[in-house]
Structure 1
Amino acid sequence: MPPPADIVKVAIEWPGAFPKLMEIDQVSACACVVAFSILRLTTSPAQNAQQLHERIQSSSMDAKLEALKDLANYSRDVTFAQEFINLDGISLLTQMVESGTERYQKLQKIMKPCFGDMLSFTLTAFVELMDHGIVSWDTFSVAFIKKIASYVNKFASDISILQRSLAILESMVLNSHDLYQKVAQEITIGQLIPHLQGTDQEIQTYTIAVINALFLKAPDDKRQEMANILAQKQLRSIILTHVIRAQRAINNEMAHQLYVLQVLTFNLLEDRMMTKMDPQDQAQRDIIFELRRIAFDAESEPNNSSGSIEKRKSMYTRDYKKLGFINHVNPAMDFTQTPPGMLALDNMLYFAKHHQDAYIRIVLENSSREDKHECPFGRSSIELTKMLCEILKVGELPSETCNDFHPMFFTHDRSFEEFFCICIQLLNKTWKEMRATSEDFNKVMQVVKEQIMRALTTKPSSLDQFKSKLQNLSYTEILKIRQSERMNQEDFQSRPILELKEKIQPEILELIKQQRLNRLVEGTCFRKLNSRRRQDKFWYCRLSPNHKVLHYGDLEESPQGEVPHDSLQDKYDLTLLTFMKENKYVRNWRAERSSIGHFVCSLPSLNN
């Protein structure tokens, strides 16, 4: 049955959104056509893809360059991307990377800028096309991987090519186990380190992203080996010097990558955290003997005669009690719970060896107190290690959105152990300030956790600064903070406050509405994020003074001050929103996600 004569199919394009093919009833929906933006006829994505597919194979260098530039721009459109990929466009681009570039090796000396731009546009188009997730990463050859890996060294001075190459390597590692193995063979940490020592933060971000990807996908037995290589290459100190302490602000993407590296580094502790102590393992038992020896200065022990065996056992039991173990006879049993497992014993030994004076002072100080007032070092260390693992989320995969990294953990090769050493001394100090007894153990641990969490929220730049923050968060100060927060909460919930709030709420809401409108009229600049959370372009949006039209448009760089209405090439009539909500022909528009939508949703008039 033929379609009704009044129904026509029309391609409609809205500013800031993908074109759509719609059916319009010429009789009942004329208002829709009149109210919308001007209809434009344009080349279909399929035809555009076909033309570009032919143009990028041109024998003319200039024509080829212009075609690749257009391809890099159009590839962001998923509809175009699908059409171009259907023409086997990805294979064409990979062939150009594998062999096509070598065809122009002789031209590099006389046409180096042209060659660099051509390769840059080729890689950009490839990245944009692959970001749509249409093609599997497992389809690429070793030759292609080798070529991309070679660009990391070969084009170190060409920021654009280096950036795209690093992005491709990161995606390969994250999206394919087979490609991870191939990339790991082609690229080394030593090749990546120099890019961290540069001044371009975006290149540094991509470099750390590749390192994180290799770290994340490495098999368990290879992960510690990779960590040792990173330590040998002094990755931590390089990041501290050239990234964290560089004379510039750290952007969100860099903060995220530093957070991921921090999490992956601490996750190396998971194996020890989940390892129970074997009471029959002599090497593990020797660690406990070493703790006793350091604490009590290798006091003379009875001779190994049959008459002194009981005396020796009695002395060991006494010393293990002074060390604060729960099981005085066989303290190895204290480390059979996971978490924290053997990690707690590792921390105790590190503290005893590297902070010996503080260790001895804590043990002897507590052993001289009454039994109920002593702060048990062994039990405290085990519970504290477990708490620190929970705070730092040891063993959990990094979040895709979090950027909560702590600069102080990049200031020391054994940052977790040093973190423990500071916190165990804090615990002993807080125990004394609270005049705690053994029944108060859990209360003390809660206060210590609050002290640590409050100090961490200030993002101290070094472990010494963290220690200083804790000094200012004594038990007395914590009580004051708790009291202040409790009073504020109680005050705001009192009856007079609630009555006043109800009375002035309409006036306040109107003031907020006007302030929001004023802010929208002023406008603001936004960063565009692509699928890999990279920030590449800007767009500006502002409301007209009569609050009826949105003016918006893309910008090449962040503007200084307001952007005039007449310089923003696109506009949107807000009176159409009500019509679009009610009209069945344009109901699908509401499902579209465009940049302008995020700005529109904040309009007070829409909320009403």
Structure 2
Amino acid sequence: MMSSPQMSNRSSHTERVFRGIQIKDLEQGTISRVPHGRREVLKVAIEAPGATPQLYEINLKQSLQDNIRDFCERWNVQNPTFYALQHYDSKQYITERTRDEVKDGAVLKLAIAPWKEVERLLKQLKRPDTPEEKIMALKNLSVMSSDPTFANEFVTKEGIPWLIGAVEKGSCQGESLAYALTAFLEIMDHGILVWEDVLTSEFIKKIANLVNKTGNADATILQRSLGILECAVVNSQQMYQEISDAIIVSNLIAHLQRSNIEIQQNTIALINGLFMKAPSDKSKISGRRKISDTMAQRQFRTVILNHVIRTPKAIGAEMAHQLHVLQVLTFNMLEERMMKRLDSNIQEEREKLLELRNIAFDSSGHTSPLSKRPQLNAPFNDRDFKKLGFDEYNNPVLDFQQTPPGVLALDLMIYFARNQQDVFVRLVLENSSRDDKHECPFGKSSICITKMLCDVLKIGEQPTETGQDYYPMFFTHDHAFEEFFCTCILLLNKTWKEMSAIKDDFDKVLSVVRDQVVSALNSKPASLDSFKQKLQNLNYSEILKKRQQEQADKEQFDAQAQPVVDLQKEIQPEIVEIIKQQRLNYLKDGTVFHKISNKRLRDKSRWFCRLSPNHKFLHYGDVDDSMTSSPAIELLPEKLAIADVKDIVTGKHCPHIKNARAHKSTTDLAFSILYDPDEALNFIAPDQKNWCMWTDGINALLSKPMVSQRAKSDLDILLTMEMKLRLLDLENIPIPEHPPTMPSLPSNYNFALPAV
């Protein structure tokens, strides 16, 4: 085996040499880039131990080991079986399975084969000459374990049992323990071994003890220990109970207060794993309750808020994902109540309904206070529950049979009534005093709002593997979801008033409220007060504008789809023809113009011009001020044949404007019809509309495009309306960017012939 003690000192020089060879030869065409599917030779640069970089052609028809043997023979490297190829930058081994990923011009390294490297490291670990040699071996092991080929060789040679035994016996401490845990975690991450087959009770206890320490433990050891336990919990249901019993969950809070982001991240990941994988069998000691009680503690919430969310450091993608998972699992604690129907035989739930009624109406004297515990089967006061806005006011229990939201809606209603009693009473009395048509029913509203919030927050759904959405405001209050509901029920009543809604508009109002809530949540408010402030700026008019803008954006996006563009091109000539006919009809009705004299452009006398029904002549003549209707063509003495018209000019190009001192407003309304031999019929339109109509009409008669602003506006409006009508049947159906491919014609049409 050849070695070179200077290799580490000249690595940067070697890289520069490789890059120079690679770039120069690629430019000169020495190394050609052959398409992957056709190449037989792969041209690369290889660094050999103790030798200068060499260019080499890997024969893809031969095995990788044969190529290594050939390379070693050319450059006099002994024992070729002891070597393998690595990527120069990533230090990842190249195998028969992965060599297709190597590109022409790549820089490779001839390195010690993984099996040989594993033998050497295990020898140093099991019988080290000095403690420093053992630490160095563990350090190298932790680095090389990220390579799957090396990791597989290490597992094959029974390296994992040695690592586990070293941790259990305590033979690795301090720096060596950090390297050992890193190597173990890296190797297990490759999925070569099953966690349940590897873990032992003693190993779990040892790792748990490292996690349970709340002092200034080594950051790397703590980080790796948290990672091992989290992976074990997620990948081994059998080990869950043992890990759950060994971990002191409350001690994890101390790790969240450390400034190390990786430790915080791994701590939250472990908590998430313990909560998510907790067994649902109530006969066992459930870890779910143990974790949920910890998550419900104010201290836990405050630490997450102050040391993780509000940290000055930016929250990375992985931390955002763990916070997303944590929040989803927290919300899912409401799932049991959300999916439970109200049972009138349960005294506690029946009392909540009666308490809700008493809080609303006791102070107004409608009912007497509950001085005693209500009877289990006592009838409900339908009059009061009707004012509370329940659909089934004779038996309001029936309103809570739909799941979701189930009993959760009643829990939120009673929280609102107890904690914001004055607001609740005012809200109920205000609505009950309205006539039935304009009443915003509190009971129905609360149930629908609860269902909507469950849907918006996806309560009951499992966290996604890539999700990063979380809402900081839910970490700012002990009863954040309940306070969230209180804000939303008040928002619904506010929006109800803004929309002047009636009972038939209930679904419309609820839809607007959903948009308001979602828009405010998307801004990621830092607190509930910030959320309320966002809602203040999202009144009904703002939501309406937003919907209109979204609809306009959607229409604009759809209009860019190729099938829609093709359809527009197809129907545009029809729309242009409609506008043309409208302009010609306008010319046939005629218009009164001011007569132009030599002294001034506008004279008090007037004249009239109109197009003949056959579109062949313009008839015109003077009219007096007493005219009340359009004169008949027979009364107009002058006429101009359209066949004699050469062109139409406007503005300053008109003969009667060129040499006159005309005001800009007059110039903008001027147009002239030029005809043979060199004559012109000059006009000053009474207003902009007539100018557009006449110039468009004359251009249409001359088979020229209609270019006025009014013509463009009419085309846009009519084309948009026509497109909407034609696409009406495709509402809510996505339009493809490109039209589908037309199938080829069949070879024959025998299928269309009737059976004989």
Distance in 2 separating the partners of 1:22 and 1:418: 57
- How far apart are residue 100 of structure 1 and its match? 4.3
Following superposition, the deviation at residue 46 of structure 1 comes to 1.7
Moved more, 358-367 or 11-20: 11-20
Give yes or no for contact 2:212–2:248 (8 Å, CA) kept in 1: no
1:456 touches 1:466 (CA, 8 Å); kept in 2? Answer: yes
1:117 aligns with 2:186: no
Residues 279 and 333 in structure 1, CA contact (< 8 A), matched pair in contact too: no
Separation of aligned partners in 2, 1:337 and 1:186: 41
* 1:10 to 1:286, Cα distance in 2 relative to 1, 3 A: same
Deviates more, 1:387-396 or 1:45-54: 45-54
**CA separation in 2, counterparts of 1:23 and 1:395?**
42
**1:157-196 → structure 2 map (5 Å cutoff):** 157-196=217-256
1:20 alignment partner, SS class: coil
Superposition deviation, residue 491 in structure 1: 4.9
Name 1:427's counterpart in structure 2. 492
In the TM superposition, what is the alpha-carbon distance from 1:275 to its structure 2 partner? 0.5
The range that moved more, 458-467 or 61-70, is 61-70
Partner of 2:360: 295
Letter in 1 for 2:301: R
Cα distance in 2 between the residues matched to 1:376 and 1:33: 69
2:261 counterpart of 1:201: yes
d(CA) in 1 for partners of 2:312 and 2:98? 57
* Correspondent of 1:133 among 191, 208, 225: 191
If you compute each CA radius of gyration, which structure gives the higher value, 1 or 2?
A: 2
Q: 1: distance between equivalents of 2:353 and 2:108?
A: 81
Q: Is the 8 A contact 2:210 2:225 kept in 1?
A: yes
Q: Which amino acid aligns with 1:186?
A: A
Verify the 8 A CA contact 1:10 1:22 in the aligned structure 2: no
Q: Give the counterpart of 1:10 among 37, 62, 67.
A: 67
Look up the match of 2:677: none
Residues 26-48 of structure 1: CA deviation (Å, up to 9, x unaligned): xxxxxx99954466543222222
- In the alignment, what sits opposite 2:519? 454
Aligned to 1:252: 317
Q: Which amino acid aligns with 2:177?
A: L
Check whether the contact 2:212–2:247 (CA below 8 A) recurs between aligned residues.
Answer: no
Question: Residues 87 and 381 of structure 1: is their aligned pair in 2 closer, same or farther, counting only changes over 3 Å?
Answer: same
The answer to whether the Cα contact below 8 Å between 1:270 and 1:395 also exists between their aligned partners in 2 is: yes
Within the candidate set 112, 115, 121, 1:52 is matched to: 121
Deviation at residue 21 of structure 1 after TM alignment: 3.8
Distance change (3 Å), C-alpha of 1:428 and 1:233: closer
Q: Is the 8 A contact 1:422 1:467 kept in 2?
A: yes
Residue type at the aligned position of 1:192: L
Aligned to 2:475: 410
Q: Answer yes or no: is 1:320 the counterpart of 2:390.
A: no
Distance 1:176 1:34, change over 3 A: closer
TM-score by length of structure 2 reads 0.59
The residue type paired with residue 180 of structure 1 is Y
1:477 counterpart SS class:
helix
Runs (5+) with no aligned partner, structure 2: 1-58, 69-84, 371-377, 566-756
- Between the aligned partners of 1:202 and 1:255, the Cα distance in structure 2 is 12
For 1:78, the aligned partner's letter is: P
Superposed, 1:479-490 pairs within 5 Å as 479-490=544-555
Q: What does the per-residue CA deviation read over 1:57-83, in whole Å, with 9 as the maximum and x for residues that have no partner? A: 133211111111111111111111111
Q: Secondary structure at the match of 2:341?
A: coil
**Cα contact 1:10–1:21 (8 A) shared by 2:** no
Distance 1:408 1:183 in 2: 32
- Give the whole-Å Cα distance in 2 for the aligned partners of 1:258 and 1:366: 40
Contact 2:250 2:294 in 1 (8 A): no
Q: 1:24-63, aligned counterparts within 5 Å?
A: 36-37=105-106, 40-59=109-128, 60-63=130-133
Give the whole-Å Cα distance in 2 for the aligned partners of 1:260 and 1:349: 29
Q: Distance in 1 between matches of 2:559 and 2:210?
A: 66
Q: Is the counterpart of residue 72 in structure 1 residue 132 in structure 2?
A: no
Query: Given the alignment, which residue of 86, 89, 98 partners 2:159?
Result: 89
* Counterpart Cα distance in 2 of 1:267 and 1:34: 49
Counterpart for residue 331 of structure 1: 396
- The residue that corresponds to 1:224 in the other structure is 289
Instruction: State the aligned residue count.
Output: 471
Tell me the secondary structure at the aligned position of residue 234 of structure 1: helix
Contact 2:86 2:111 in 1 (8 A): no
In 2 relative to 1, CA 195–343 (structure 1 residues): closer, same or farther, beyond 3 Å? same
Pairwise CA distance, 1:351: 0.5
**Which residue, out of 315, 333, 340, partners 1:268?**
333
The answer for the alignment partner of 1:347 in structure 2 is 412
Structure ranking higher in helix proportion: 1
Q: Deviations over 1:98-126 (max 9, x none)?
A: 11427xxxxxxxxxxxx422111101000
> Quick one: distance in 1 between partners of 2:233 and 2:242?
9
Match of 2:510 in 1: 445
Give the fraction of aligned pairs with identical amino acids, expressed as a percent: 50
Q: Mapping of 1:436-515 within 5 angstroms?
A: 436-491=501-556
Q: Separation in 1 of the partners of 2:419 and 2:133?
A: 67
Kindly provide the CA deviation profile for residues 561-595 of structure 1, in whole angstroms up to 9, marking residues without a partner as x: xxxxxxxxxxxxxxxxxxxxxxxxxxxxxxxxxxx
Of 277, 286, 289 in structure 1, the residue corresponding to residue 342 of structure 2 is: 277
Per-residue deviation, residues 275-320 of structure 1 (Å, max 9, x unmatched): 111133332111111111000125365899xxxxxxx97x921111
Helix, strand or coil: the match of 2:228?
helix
Q: Indicate the SS of the match to 1:56.
A: helix
Aligned to 2:201: 142
> Quick check: 52-61 or 374-383, which moved more?
52-61
Question: Once the 2 structures are TM-superposed, how far is the Cα of residue 425 of structure 1 from its aligned partner?
Answer: 0.5
Q: Deviation per CA, 1:445-478, whole angstroms, max 9, x where unpaired?
A: 1111110100001000000110110111000111
Secondary structure class of the residue paired with 2:350: helix
Q: Secondary structure at the match of 1:479?
A: helix
For 2:438 and 2:332, locate their aligned partners in 1 and report how far apart those are by CA, in whole Å.
36
Give the 3 Å change call, closer, same or farther, for CA 203–353 of structure 1 in structure 2: same
Instruction: Give 1:493 deviation, angstroms.
Output: 5.8
What letter matches 1:119 in structure 2?
L
Q: Structure 1 150/479 Cα, relative in aligned 2: closer, same or farther at 3 Å? A: same
Contact 1:10/1:23 (8 A) holds in 2: no
CA distance in 1, matches of 2:303, 2:182: 29
**Superposition deviation, residue 153 in structure 1:** 4.2
Task: Identify the range of structure 1 (448-457 vs 210-219) with the bigger mean alpha-carbon deviation.
Answer: 210-219
Offset at 1:486? Answer: 2.8
* Distance in 2 of aligned mates of 1:404 and 1:33: 38
Which amino acid counterpart does residue 126 of structure 2 have in structure 1?
Answer: Q
Deviates further, 190-199 or 334-343: 190-199
Shift of the alpha carbon at 1:23?
13
Q: Work out whether residues 492 and 513 of structure 2, in 8 Å CA contact, stay in contact via their aligned partners in 1.
A: yes
- Alpha-carbon distance change, 242 to 63 in structure 1, aligned in 2, over 3 angstroms: same
Give the root-mean-square deviation of aligned CA atoms. Answer: 3.0
In the alignment, the residues of structure 2 paired with residue 23 and residue 488 of structure 1 have an alpha-carbon distance, to the nearest angstrom, of 47
What's the CA shift for 1:329? 0.4
Alignment of 1:20 with 2:95, yes or no, is: yes
Instruction: Choose from 413, 432, 439 the match for 1:374.
Output: 439
Q: Aligned letter for 2:179? A: F
